[in-house]
Amino acid sequence: MTAKDEIQNLARLLRESDHTLALTGAGISTASGIPDFRSRGSGRWEKVDPAQVCSVQAFRRDPAAFWNYNLEWWLACLRAEPNPAHHVLARLQQEGLLLGVITQNIDGLHVRAGSRTWEVHGHLRTCRCLGCGRQHPFDFVSEQFQAGKNPPRCPCGDLLRPDVVLFGDMLGEDFQAATQVLAGCQLLVVVGSSLQVYPVAALPRFARQLVIVNRDPTPWDDKAVLVLRDDIVRVFEELAATLGLS
Ligand SMILES: NC(=O)c1ccc[n+]([C@@H]2O[C@H](COP(=O)([O-])OP(=O)(O)OC[C@H]3O[C@@H](n4cnc5c(N)ncnc54)[C@H](O)[C@@H]3O)[C@@H](O)[C@H]2O)c1
Ligand SMILES: [Zn+2]
């Protein structure tokens, strides 16, 4: 099958399904300048194990070191802009071809592109106090950090943590909501995920048909009706052209 046939096949599957969702991972945001964890050569995983530095345990052991390590890439996420793949997914929803996006990303780019989004690993819009539970805008943390106050604290004096799901955390209500919206899913389009982080990696089992758009192989490839090992932005720009979306 040529690349063009594959895109036409994807367009047909989208038109035929009336319960379609996308499941996205870090790979959809690499074109926005945010490195993923597992791409060969550039993934963050190759430098450091996120389960060590991005975990509840790391936060408890040394909150200042936790913020020191993580804040830089989180601020890069906040500076990034949605790329054409985020925009095409939002457009597919407007056209009634997609119900929304379940994402593992914390960069908020699907929300900013206008998609209905279930952010199963949380987001960087807010942080919360471990003592009084109050939520603050994320800027409240970064401003303290930049003024040399590390670890950042709530006015009540207690420590602040990000509203992202850390290794060792339970998944939040968006994950529950995502499993509900996946019930009856006819088509799930996985975009830019190595499908190695559980329990999200188990979500494809809810879908009757699976399409995978990812440069590297995933453990679900043999179950998929279509696998596009191509650049994500290229795939979605060509898909938009094939569907006549401008
Ligand atoms: N942008 C973010 O918010 C961000 C960034 C890094 C990590 N994370 C977190 O880390 C975890 C990582 O797991 P994951 O499965 O999402 O990502 P991952 O890093 O495990 O896998 C990303 C996949 O995307 C593919 N990819 C990267 N750029 C691509 C491109 N331009 N075209 C085609 N394929 C491309 C790679 O081949 C890789 O298999 C997630 O839980 C996520 O919360 C989030
Ligand atoms: Zn507080």
For residue 194, the CA-to-ligand 1 centroid distance in Å is 7
Q: Is position 121 annotated as part of the catalytic site?
A: yes
Looking at the fold, whether 222 and 184 belong to one and the same domain comes out as yes
Of 103, 130, 164, the residue that ends a domain is: 164
> Contact 34/107 with Cβ under 8 angstroms?
yes
- For the Cβ of 54 lying below 6 angstroms from any atom of ligand 1, the answer is no
- For the Cβ of 110 lying below 6 angstroms from any atom of ligand 1, the answer is no
List the one residue out of 5, 142, 117, 124 whose CA is nearest residue 54.
124
* Residue found under tokens 């319960």: 19
Looking at the fold, whether 189 and 73 belong to one and the same domain comes out as no
Looking at the fold, whether 19 and 132 belong to one and the same domain comes out as no
Of 113, 133, 164, the residue that ends a domain is: 164
pLDDT at 113 over 70: yes
Q: Rounded CA gap, 194 and 23, in Å?
A: 11
> Contact 140/153 with Cβ under 8 angstroms?
no
- What is the pLDDT averaged over residues 25-45? 82
Q: Rounded CA gap, 46 and 168, in Å?
A: 21
- Cα pseudo-dihedral 238, 240, 242, 245, rounded to 10: -150
CATH of the domain at 115: 3.40.50.1220
Task: Give the residue, 236 or 54, on which the prediction is more confident.
Answer: 236
Looking at the fold, whether 100 and 115 belong to one and the same domain comes out as yes
Please state, rounded to an integer, the average pLDDT across all residues of the chain.
Answer: 94
**β-strands 100-103, 117-119 pairing:** parallel
CATH of the domain at 43: 3.30.1600.10
How many structural domains is the chain composed of?
2
Q: State pTM to two decimals.
A: 0.95
Looking at the fold, whether 68 and 89 belong to one and the same domain comes out as no
> Contact 71/85 with Cβ under 8 angstroms?
no
- For the Cβ of 232 lying below 6 angstroms from any atom of ligand 1, the answer is yes
Looking at the fold, whether 54 and 69 belong to one and the same domain comes out as yes
Looking at the fold, whether 155 and 235 belong to one and the same domain comes out as no
Looking at the fold, whether 75 and 179 belong to one and the same domain comes out as no
Q: Which residues surround ligand 2, an ion (CB under 5 A)?
A: 129, 131-132, 134, 154, 156, 158
What 3-state DSSP class applies to 165? coil
Ligand nearest to the backbone CA of 50: 1
Determine the structural domain holding residue 127 and report its residue range.
35-79+122-164
Looking at the fold, whether 192 and 239 belong to one and the same domain comes out as yes
Looking at the fold, whether 160 and 179 belong to one and the same domain comes out as no
Looking at the fold, whether 130 and 214 belong to one and the same domain comes out as no
pLDDT at 45 over 60: no
> Contact 127/109 with Cβ under 8 angstroms?
no
What 3-state DSSP class applies to 148? coil
User: Which positions ≥6 away from 150 have C-beta within 8 Å?
Assistant: 64, 67, 68, 144
- For the Cβ of 83 lying below 6 angstroms from any atom of ligand 1, the answer is no
Ligand nearest to the backbone CA of 108: 1
For residue 228, the Cα-to-chain-centroid distance in whole angstroms is 19
Looking at the fold, whether 225 and 115 belong to one and the same domain comes out as yes
For residue 53, the CA-to-ligand 1 centroid distance in Å is 17
pLDDT > 70 fraction of the chain, expressed in percent and rounded: 96
For residue 108, the CA-to-ligand 2 centroid distance in Å is 25
Q: Rounded CA gap, 54 and 47, in Å?
A: 13
